[in-house]
Amino acid sequence: MTLSPQALDDVHGDLMEISLGPHHPSTHGVFRMNVTLDGEVVVKLKPVFGYLHRNHEKIAEQNTYLASIPYTDRLDYLCSLTNNWAYVHAVEKLAGIPVPERAEYLRIVLGELARIINHVCLVGFLLNDLGTSFTPLLYSLRERERMLDLVEELTGSRMMCNFFRFGGLRTDVSQDWLARLRAYLGDGFAQYLDEQDALLSGNEILLARTQNVGTLPAALAIQAGITGPMLRASGVAYDIRKVDKYSLYARLAFQIPIGEHGDTYDRYMMRMLEMRESVKIILQAMDALRDLPANAPHIEPKARNQGLRPKAGEAYARIEGPKGELGFHLVSDGTGKPWRYRIRPPSLINLTALEDMCLGQTLADTVVILGSVDIVLGEVDR
Amino acid sequence: MPPGTMNPFSPESILPRLAEKFPEGTATLVNDTGAAAQHSLLLDGRHAADIAIFLRDDPALRLDYCSNVTGMDWLKKGFLEAVYHLYSVEKKSSAPVILRLRTSGRGDGPATVSVPSLTPVWRSCELQEREIYDLYGIVFTGHPDLRRLLMWDEFKDFPMRKDYVPPGDDATA
């Protein structure tokens, strides 16, 4: 519910300051908001960062290029595969390393799988924030667990995958694994999406709690650097997979879901729709992989390259991560360690407009709005 | 892009347009010698905000989206830098336009060196400039809310500077 300034004047009372977080389940980690309330309505909100800060960028400047790949797993720990991808993408740009076609398609399969895993979590946790007390969350986590089983089998780890290498991947991916992923997406996961849509997407309570809550206008979203599903929920058709056409996305047919109102409900629906698009992308990439020889010898040319020394220069490269634009800005001085290693974290920058979205909303809605932004503190604080 | 036409977002095509509008020497090309060849524009601090507004509002460029701000410490060259990566959401540009702002020195002790803030032009710089202030000690003049972002308020040093010594290490050195 949004109160007009006029209505606010009528019910004006004593202001109360509360500190929401850092130890609060709805902040999804150690995030804190200093909120000033007028009754139940937010009149001021200042986020406080840094509880999970470990100066990841400084650590990476003391590592070889290869040694930083496992560190990127720990940024947004829900989707380490896309973190790996963004980092190796930047190093490949910096050092001019080509990527073979088979590896590109496999990266697309894994990157979209990471997007699905991320969105499944988001949808589950957002509904939990709305007070559905775990049932939708457990359904979501059940599906996530099935996908993580596949990821674990492939990479050796459920979450800290460390699977991408400069110019390829750590290992090839077997046809058998791909076939099982295909079977799961077509059966169990498709059922989950339909079930979720049938039970929740049109649910009256969900609509009442999320429609016209935390509206983000398109102009503000662009100005504040909001990216990813949050930007598209505000009606801006901007997806880096389409704009930059990195990897082989230009060869694949998929839609970019666009929201209309930029409210919390649109942000929820963006994730539901994007999961269906990601399934389409994975299936197309798998079809293309069928025609490419498995275990092609060229798949891991620089995979073990501890001694990578890019020519002095700099490169900024970005991908469409599940949460928005994930970019890496690397500067090489010609040695084996990056002279400057900078991460452009979508989770942090998407919080720029948090106060604007929460003003005039109730405290209970603030929790839901934050949930719909989709942050992971490992990336916010780095 | 059809062959033969100049990419309007390349620094080579932006530079002459800036030369028409602004005094000589306000923007100079910085060549990137690496494989990515991401050349950038070094701006004179006095005109930086005006140039930023021009780049944002110019109908051919419409660089309405500042994606990334990176702080840098050039210890040997003796200055700090803030590097901005701009894109156009409206024009769907796929290569960044890169701006650099340099401090006049590295400053000693508390944050004394400054560059103009571009947060009034692109709000997406707000948290990123705060982070650079926090970790590098560059003061962004004109920033609406310049406070430390990741380190705590009582912290005195700037840990991303190249000559930063973590506490405890100096005793053993």
> Mind listing the pLDDT tens digit for each residue in A330-381?
999 888 889 999 999 999 999 999 999 999 899 889 989 998 998 888 899 8
Contact by Cβ (8 Å): B96, B112 = no
- Which residues, in sequence order, are bridge partners of residue A48? A32
* Structure ipTM over 0.85, yes or no: yes
Contact by Cβ (8 Å): B33, A311 = yes
Of the listed ranges A232-241, A297-306, B30-39, the one predicted with least confidence: A297-306
Percent of chain A topping pLDDT 90: 50
What DSSP letter does each residue of B67-134 carry, written as one string?
Answer: EEEEEEEETTTTEEEEEEEEE-TTTT--S-EEEEEE-SS--SSS--EEEE--TTT-TTHHHHHHHHHH
The residue length of chain A stands at: 382
Interface A-B: count of C-beta contacts within 8 A: 113
Interval A89-97 mean pLDDT: 90
CA atoms within 13 A on the CB side of B79: 11
Interchain CB distance below 8 Å, B124 and A329: no
Token duo for residue A108 = 């697309």
Across chain A, the runs of DSSP E, i.e. the strands, are 15-20, 32-38, 41-48, 164-165, 168-169, 313-321, 324-332, 338-344
Domains of chain B: residue spans and CATH: 39-158 (3.30.460.80)
Interchain CB distance below 8 Å, B128 and A94: no
**Please, what is the average pLDDT of chain A?**
88
Query: pLDDT value at position B156?
Result: 85
Interval B107-122 mean pLDDT: 84
Distance from the Cα of B168 to chain A's closest Cα (Å) equals 17
Regarding beta strands A32-38 and B65-74, do their DSSP bridges make them parallel or antiparallel, or are they unpaired?
A: unpaired
Percent of chain B topping pLDDT 70: 92
pLDDT band with cut points at 50, 70 and 90 for residue B45 = confident
- Residue scoring higher pLDDT (A303 or B110): B110
- Sequence spans of domains, chain A: 53-380
Contact by Cβ (8 Å): A30, A52 = yes
Interval A288-308 mean pLDDT: 66
pLDDT band with cut points at 50, 70 and 90 for residue A265 = very high
Comparing alpha-carbon positions, the chain B residue that sits nearest to A345 is B68
Say yes or no: B66 contacts chain A, CB-CB below 8 A.
yes
Residues of A within 8 A of B126 (CB-CB) are: 224, 352
Long-range contacts formed by B17-22: CB under 8 A, 24+ apart = B17/B58, B18/B51, B18/B54, B21/B54, B22/B47, B22/B50, B22/B51
Question: Residue A242: which H helix or E strand, with range?
Answer: helix A240-243
Query: pLDDT value at position B173?
Result: 46
Q: Is the pLDDT of residue A22 over 80?
A: yes
Q: Is the pLDDT of residue B121 over 50?
A: yes
Of A188, A146, A162, A209, residue with least CA distance to A361 = A209
Interval A299-308 mean pLDDT: 59
Of B161, B87, B81, B73, residue with least CA distance to B124 = B87
Say yes or no: B116 contacts chain A, CB-CB below 8 A.
no
Q: What order do you get walking across the sheet with A338-344 strand by strand?
A: A313-321, A324-332, A338-344
Query: pLDDT value at position B163?
Result: 87
Q: Is the pLDDT of residue B44 over 90?
A: no
Comparing alpha-carbon positions, the chain B residue that sits nearest to A237 is B89
Question: Which superfamily does A53-380 belong to?
Answer: Cytochrome-c3 Hydrogenase, chain B (1.10.645.10)
Say yes or no: B96 contacts chain A, CB-CB below 8 A.
yes
Question: Residue A82: which H helix or E strand, with range?
Answer: helix A80-95
> Mind listing the pLDDT tens digit for each residue in B123-146?
999 999 999 999 998 999 999 999
Residues 215-234 of A with CB under 8 A from B: 220, 222-227
